[in-house]
Structure 1
Amino acid sequence: MEFLVIALVLLVGFGVFRYFRQKNVVTILTEDQFREGYRKAQLIDVREPQEFKNGHILGARNIPVTQMKQRLIEIRKDKPVYLYCANGTRAARAAQLLHKKGYEDINQLKGGFKKWNGKVKQG
């Protein structure tokens, strides 16, 4: 029983740690906030190419998180970066990677593409 309590405390602690670490790396934006700034930023869809072809936010570039390390040269450090994926998980990973590489103005769409109600380009 004592082991379960310790494991639960560690699990909750790790979740809190990840939440605050992520909060310092990326700004999570509502759809309205995202829409306000993404035209002046680098809008990057971090989903895989097939997902991107099936529909994406108008004006987005596709740099899958799986290719991001190799394609960092395509992303400027002096302009805001707006990221999104299907639901937020991959965008959070991409934000961590960019942060480690010295990017500072990193923003993410809350809820990802699945929650987006704005203009979309279909395949």
Structure 2
Amino acid sequence: MIIGVGIDVVDVARFEETLERTPSLLERLFTPEERVVGIASLAARFAAKEALAKALGAPVGLHWTDARVVTSEDGRPHLEIGGSVQSRANDLGVDRFHVSLSHDAGIASAVVIAEG
């Protein structure tokens, strides 16, 4: 059963400018493993975290680094969650997420489906 759906889009250039202006955001938003990808992929991962929050009902108190976007060996992205995100997912009965990322023409986007 689908419990929630979230979508988000990010202007890659604006996102990069924000990170340059406030470098501490990089550590607040992303795990060390996520920080090694290029800016377009990083923007897509931020969009995925925003979409994840929306799929979970956008509750207060979620920590950005309690969700990590990981690329499988076959190239497909998936979410690894813990802490505040895992707690919210448990409360809603979510046991699986589906995530799709894209970036093209200066825009990064993501869709997340929460399933229980």
In terms of fraction of residues, the more helix-rich structure is 1
Pick 1 or 2: higher relative contact order, CA cutoff 8 A, min separation 6.
Answer: 2
- In the superposition, the TM-score normalised over structure 1's length comes to 0.28
In terms of fraction of residues, the more strand-rich structure is 2
- In the superposition, the TM-score normalised over structure 2's length comes to 0.29
